[in-house]
Amino acid sequence: MARPRKPLLDQDRIATAALELVDEDGEFTMPALARRLGVQTPSIYHHVDGRAGVIELLRAKIDEEIDSALLDLRPWDRALDAYARSYRAAFAAHPHVIPLLATSTVQAPRVVVVYDMIAAVLIEGGFAPEQVMPSYTALENFLLGSALDRAAPEVMWEVPPGVEAPHLSRALAAQTTSPTRSDQAFEFGLAALLDALRAMNASP
Amino acid sequence: MARPRKPLLDQDRIATAALELVDEDGEFTMPALARRLGVQTPSIYHHVDGRAGVIELLRAKIDEEIDSALLDLRPWDRALDAYARSYRAAFAAHPHVIPLLATSTVQAPRVVVVYDMIAAVLIEGGFAPEQVMPSYTALENFLLGSALDRAAPEVMWEVPPGVEAPHLSRALAAQTTSPTRSDQAFEFGLAALLDALRAMNASP
DNA sequence: ACCTGAACACCGTTCAAGT
DNA sequence: ACCTGAACACCGTTCAAGT
């Protein structure tokens, strides 16, 4: 076969296949990815910088689904609220990718643009420049942790037989099934952080 | 050599060596771990259930450093505040382990005991049982995200040359070097969540 | 019970060969 | 430029052999 007249692969096809694989299996290997693409493993290396490159493609895929235009909303708290929800929804749709992304960090220009939009809406909203980074970092840490929580199996929240945990058992039994523990926690935490930001914004 | 008169290995030695390895290299492999222990790789399998077992040992090691007795403090918000700080400090001391633990989840009895203490202090503090899980989940998500943030390289927060990001640049320039962005974000987020819990506790 | 040497399946990556 | 086959180093794990 050697070189085909029309390329069999491109970054988009690779990214899509990788995302499907991770969604289904919870992980991916280069051979499995190649198999799904109907190609030999080394072929992938002509389009992406190895396995790490594939992970970057996954990150970009998820980023695409976050609606950063929401950061153009005003006032600032409406923008952050909407953006946070979009962020969470994007990750929630692909929970298994999260651990993959958590390990490495990026320097993608796209990310910088988004952070600039966030800094813009906050500064414009009356925050002092030195308040921007810690404020947003706190929010993002919460979002990231919430995303990881969604990737974790709910099974974790069962008291194993034979273990005495009366208070926890009571708390678990009192849970509502809908909205989920995860959803309720998200709503609560997001509101808490936005409230604190509003308070900070009100007083110098 | 075969079987030595005194065992060369035990779970404690393995755990300690693995933690050192991860702290130094940011990761660990079974051969590298064996090398550090002065032993052949398969020997480890006599004491731990494979690589996953070593990761569980790491989790236990970190858990040990969290002072769960702080959850016996009263009132509830003092307990949670102190526990949250201890939690963060334990992870902050070994940032590279965090991604390792984030992937898998546990069912360790020890964890259940801690969660029961948390449920106890909250219910005793006046929270309704159905408020416990979402409240604590929100806090823990924030703590986990904050821990991951600490594991991430600070380099991420530089604007690459040639990229236009005036607002972000301003926010970055305005940062104080001490306390760290990470520390400030932690203080802010923790206060925000505890405030929201107090508000929830005050009104039914 | 506990360590070793040998062996296996599998993975990520490189590279020369082919069009 | 782009795909393949062959090859390599390395990893996690198993297991029979030895005390």
Give per-residue burial for A168-187: e unless 16+ CB within 10 Å, then b: bbbbbeeeeeeeebbbbbbe
Predicted local distance difference test score (pLDDT) of residue A125: 97
- pTM for this predicted structure: 0.93
Nearest chain B residue to A197, by CA = B192
Candidates A105, A134, A173; nearest CB to B188 = A134
* Per-residue pLDDT tens over the stretch A60-101: 999 999 999 999 999 999 999 999 999 999 999 999 998 898
Predicted local distance difference test score (pLDDT) of residue A183: 94
Predicted local distance difference test score (pLDDT) of residue B63: 92
Q: What is the dihedral of CA A10, A11, A17, A20, to 10 degrees?
A: -160
Residue A31 domain-assigned (yes or no): yes
Nucleotides of D under 7 A from a protein CB: 1-6, 10-19
Please tell me the distance from the alpha carbon of residue A45 to that of residue A50, in angstroms, as a whole number: 6
Q: Does residue A7 lie within 7 Å of nucleic acid chain C, judged by its CB?
A: no
CA-to-C1' distance for B31 and D10, Å?
10
CA-to-C1' distance for A33 and C14, Å?
19
For the cut 70, the answer to whether the pLDDT of residue A136 exceeds it is: yes
Interface touch A165/B133, C-beta < 8 Å:
no
Q: Does residue B5 lie within 7 Å of nucleic acid chain C, judged by its CB?
A: no
Residue A164 domain-assigned (yes or no): no
For the cut 70, the answer to whether the pLDDT of residue B105 exceeds it is: no
Q: Does residue A2 lie within 7 Å of nucleic acid chain D, judged by its CB?
A: yes
Please tell me the distance from the alpha carbon of residue B118 to that of residue B69, in angstroms, as a whole number: 11
Task: List chain B residues with CB under 8 Å of A112.
Answer: 159-160, 163, 165, 168
Rg (CA), chain B: 21
Q: What is the DSSP letter of B160?
A: P
Nearest chain A residue to B129, by CA = A171
Please give, rounded to a whole number of angstroms, the shortest distance from the CA of A9 to a CA of chain B.
Answer: 30
Mean pLDDT, residues B93-100: 91
Protein residue nearest nucleotide D2, by CA to C1' = A3
| CATH code assigned at A86 | 1.10.357.10
CA-to-C1' distance for A13 and D3, Å?
16
Q: What is the mean pLDDT of chain B?
A: 92
Q: Does residue A5 lie within 7 Å of nucleic acid chain D, judged by its CB?
A: no
Q: What percent of chain A has pLDDT over 90?
A: 78
Predicted local distance difference test score (pLDDT) of residue A131: 96
Mean pLDDT, residues A144-149: 89
Please give, rounded to a whole number of angstroms, the shortest distance from the CA of A5 to a CA of chain B.
Answer: 37
Predicted local distance difference test score (pLDDT) of residue B184: 96
Domain count, chain B: 1
Residue A191 domain-assigned (yes or no): yes
In Å, how far are A98, A130, B18, B38 from B55, measured between CA atoms? 19, 39, 9, 20
Q: Does residue A43 lie within 7 Å of nucleic acid chain C, judged by its CB?
A: no
- At position B136, the amino acid (one-letter code) is Y
Predicted local distance difference test score (pLDDT) of residue B150: 78
CA-to-C1' distance for B41 and C7, Å?
14
Residue B171 domain-assigned (yes or no): no
Residues 118-147 of B with CB under 7 A from strand D: none
Residue B168 domain-assigned (yes or no): no
Nucleotides of C under 7 A from a protein CB: 1-6, 10-19
Pairs of CB atoms within 8 A across A/B: 222
Let me know if A50 is exposed, middle or buried by CB neighbors in 10 A (0-12, 13-18, 19+).
Answer: exposed
Q: How confident is the model at residue B87 (pLDDT cuts 50, 70, 90)?
A: very high
**Domain span at residue B131?**
11-151+179-202
* Per-residue pLDDT tens over the stretch B141-177: 999 999 888 777 665 567 778 888 999 999 999 998 8
Residue A157 domain-assigned (yes or no): no
Interface touch B144/A148, C-beta < 8 Å:
yes
SS (H, E, C) chain A: CCCCCCCCCCHHHHHHHHHHHHHHHCCCCHHHHHHHHCCCHHHHHHCCCHHHHHHHHHHHHHHHHCCHHHHHCCCHHHHHHHHHHHHHHHHHCCCCHHHHHHHCCCCCHHHHHHHHHHHHHHHHCCCCHHHHHHHHHHHHHHHHHHHHHHHCCHHHHCCCCCCCCHHHHHHHHCCCCCCCHHHHHHHHHHHHHHHHHHHHHHCC
Q: How confident is the model at residue B30 (pLDDT cuts 50, 70, 90)?
A: very high
Residue B35 domain-assigned (yes or no): yes
Please tell me the distance from the alpha carbon of residue B161 to that of residue B172, in angstroms, as a whole number: 14
Three-state DSSP at A73 gives: coil
Mutation for testing the B interface, residue in A55, A142, A163, A172 having most B CBs under 10 Å: A142
* Per-residue pLDDT tens over the stretch A147-204: 888 777 665 577 778 888 999 999 999 998 888 899 999 999 999 999 999 999 998 6
Residue B54 domain-assigned (yes or no): yes
Residue A161 CB-half CA count within 13 A: 0
Predicted local distance difference test score (pLDDT) of residue A150: 78
Candidates A103, A112, A186; nearest CB to B160 = A112
**Lowest-pLDDT range of A172-176, B88-92, B153-157, B193-197:** B153-157
* Per-residue pLDDT tens over the stretch A9-20: 999 999 999 999
Predicted local distance difference test score (pLDDT) of residue B112: 87
Task: Please check whether residue A48 is in contact with residue A91, taking contact to mean a CB–CB distance below 8 angstroms.
Answer: no
Q: How confident is the model at residue B12 (pLDDT cuts 50, 70, 90)?
A: very high
Please give, rounded to a whole number of angstroms, the shortest distance from the CA of B25 to a CA of chain A.
Answer: 14
- At position B117, the amino acid (one-letter code) is M
